Chains A and B, each alone.
Chain A
């Protein structure tokens, strides 16, 4: 099994404050790692480093042997990442061209259909309901069929329809061999899809390993064990 994601001894400082301390984490290709931890533990910082959005002071971070800045992961952060003053179709076409998707227009139409936004494709995002925005965000994230997916609390504030959609998309991605890291507070949905878990606390990795069936039955298990 090749290592898709390798973090070795990573330290990230904000001034003299260490947000990540000597963090070492390996994620095998094709696996799905659920990143658990309280708010402020360092999950978002970690994901941003993997996405190439943040630099770090010490250690090594590699995605398929390359610097994270060079990669094209599917990234879903806290914001939906689409432009309010463009239509759904225009948004997706822009991102498709940026990511050099083959036959961008066709890909865009396929995804509009997939997230059930075909009928609203020419409406401005400004006029979208919350659920529609979430579904467009999902389309934008998965549009270029990424090999690596980095999702920061993706289930938060999704409606039921979007949660189902996201779960399906994640399973599909796993089936085609993509590597997924997602941070979450929604333990049930995430643990169902995850093959591995990692618990982060105060910038350190407290636990890392396979997702067991005990965890599935009792999602709060890890938190209780380590606090």
Chain B
């Protein structure tokens, strides 16, 4: 059942993306002030949102694991963190490319970009820690604790970096140069792009969750084999 959902989402996402790419490049005109590069928004913003939301969904599953001790929640949490990490990196890379084209520099200490980078570091630490723990119950328990600390910190990170940037202004990554309104044609493409990326994320999370469960099964079979020998 889960596999069908995973494949289904992937296929739907592929379809949406293809359609979107056609619309993006063939139909939509270049943006008034930014030129062609504004199209990167259609990937940058959804990736950012999916990345951020993913961490907090992982937080929910981590808490669920701690209360129920059901390994499914641990697998879901870990997969969500991994996939969110990937999308956060996409967010940063696309932001960087945009900054290079518009500002001429590869990196700007814009508060959203900086916060995203800190989140990447925090959850990268999460993945590193998971790899260092062989025993599944201990790994699940400690990962859940770290996820809780990480997510709480993420909230404080965003606020503090935003305040820091208010005090020390610098270039801001803002795509909406026309005063905050998006052309309706762009809005549909944006909405569809967001949906496509969400479906990709869903598909990846389901696949990774299955892999985690299989890895655990193999580990326990290995242990069984050792004790029987």
Contacts and interface: CB of A to CB of B under 8 A. Distances in A.
Q: Report if A and B touch in the complex (beta carbons < 8 A).
A: yes
Interface of A: 13-17, 40, 57, 202
A15 B135 contact: yes
B220 A15 contact: yes
Nearest to B215: A15
8 contacts: A13-B137, A14-B135, A14-B136, A15-B71, A16-B136, A17-B220, A40-B227, A57-B69
A14 B137 contact: yes
Given A15-B135, A15-B136, 9 more contacts: A14-B135, A14-B136, A14-B223, A15-B137, A15-B223, A16-B71, A17-B223, A17-B224, A202-B227
Contacts of B71: 15-16
Nearest to B223: A17
Nearest to B69: A57
B218 to A, nearest CB: 9
Contacts of B30: none
B216 interface: yes
Interface residues of B, number: 12
Nearest to B217: A16
Interface in B65-95: 69, 71
Task: With a 10 A CB-CB cut-off, give which of A14, A15, A16, A17 has the most chain B CB atoms.
Answer: A15
Contacts of B219: 15-17
Contacts of A15: 71, 135-137, 216, 219-220, 223
Interface of B: 69, 71, 135-137, 216-217, 219-220, 223-224, 227
A202 to B, nearest CB: 7
Contacts of A14: 135-137, 220, 223
Contacts of B220: 14-17
Contacts of B137: 13-15
Nearest to A16: B220
A98 to B, nearest CB: 25
A192 to B, nearest CB: 30
Nearest to B222: A17
A190 to B, nearest CB: 24
Task: With a 10 A CB-CB cut-off, give which of B216, B217, B223 has the most chain A CB atoms.
Answer: B223
A175 to B, nearest CB: 39
B228 to A, nearest CB: 9
Give me the 4 closest cross-chain CB pairs, A-B, nearest first: A15-B136, A16-B220, A17-B220, A17-B223
Contact of A16 (B69, B216, B227): B216
Task: With a 10 A CB-CB cut-off, give which of A13, A14, A40 has the most chain B CB atoms.
Answer: A14
Contacts of B216: 15-16
Contacts of B223: 14-15, 17
B117 to A, nearest CB: 34
Nearest to A42: B227
Contacts of B217: 16
B136 to A, nearest CB: 3
Contacts of A17: 219-220, 223-224
A20 B69 CA distance: 17
A86 to B, nearest CB: 29
A40 B228 CA distance: 10
A15 to B, nearest CB: 3
B67 to A, nearest CB: 13
Contacts of B136: 14-16
A63 to B, nearest CB: 22
A57 B69 CA distance: 8
Nearest to B140: A15
B140 to A, nearest CB: 9
B226 to A, nearest CB: 9
A14 B217 CA distance: 11
Contacts of A202: 227
Contacts of B135: 14-15
A151 B109 CA distance: 59
A15 B217 CA distance: 8
A202 B228 CA distance: 9
Nearest to A40: B227
A51 B194 CA distance: 52
Contacts of A40: 227
A41 B219 CA distance: 19
